[in-house]
Amino acid sequence: MKTNVERKTAILAVSFGTSHNDTREVTIDAIEEALKNACPNASLYRAWTSKMIIKKVNARDNVHIMTVSEAMEQMKQDGITNVLVQPTHVINGIENDLMKEDALAYKDSFAIGSLENGRYNPSILLSKSNKVIEILANEFSWLNKKQALVFMGHGTTHFSNSIYAALDYAFKDKGHPNIFLATVEAYPSIDSLKRLVDAYKPEEIVLAPFMIVAGDHAKNDMAGDDPDSWYNKFKAAGYKVTPILKGLGEYRGIQELFVEHLKTIEQ
């Protein structure tokens, strides 16, 4: 690890990625802009962790989005000495573990975040889950008691998946009995969630993604035309359903929360 007194600092913004440019522009791009504005003297580099999405976007749009390892190599070539790694991941799951592994492979080439202090824990979104609850409750303060807000999280086989059920409970513990959270690929499932929503007896369901971007899952699994989409499952149950295709990264409060995380590791 370099110990130069004068360092050349860069921010490495790491996202899962998306092939939907419309949502990327107002989520990932917006978060990266907020990070850059918060640290104007630092260069900003982008890396995505989904190699499948990288391959698709690179071929379709004729661009080159880097993996974490490629970005670390590029920064090394560019003379960067201090790297502030800031993921836009929601939970500390598989993608975040892989990101940390790839970044730490370069621990002898850079000062990485707060590694010099004997730890390396780049903050994911739910590092401050109570703050996330506050931000989203404020964003949806227009809800009335006859409406239920249903968030769709991604879900994972990683043990960190338990945070989704905990967060669903926390929304209610914080005084929001009409806010629910389930996942598209794990537990709580739509079937588990629907039983809880039915018990609340709302007149209308508002669907929103609990993901940084409003991509495939939001457009298809949540709000799509397929009979198994969350939209159609609630419609079939007799509810009025209103989908909101707005990723978490589009909310200004969420962008500012990532900036707070960055400032923590910058110190």
Query: So which residues are the catalytic ones?
Result: 154
Q: What is the helix (H) or strand (E) element at residue 256, kind and residue range? A: helix 252-266
Give the C-alpha separation, 240 to 71, whole Å: 46
Round to whole Å and give the CA distance between 135 and 248. Answer: 10
Q: Are 245 and 218 in contact (CB under 8 A)?
A: yes
Distance CA 236, CA 232 (A): 6
Sign of the alpha-carbon torsion through 19, 166, 263, 83 = negative
Phi, psi of 102 (to 5 degrees): -65, -40
Residues 182, 154: contact at Cβ < 8 Å? no
User: CB-based burial of residue 147 (10 Å sphere; 0-12 exposed, 13-18 middle, 19+ buried)?
Assistant: middle
Question: Cα–Cα distance between 264 and 267 in angstroms, integer?
Answer: 6
At how many degrees (to 10) do helices 129-139 and 252-266 cross? 160
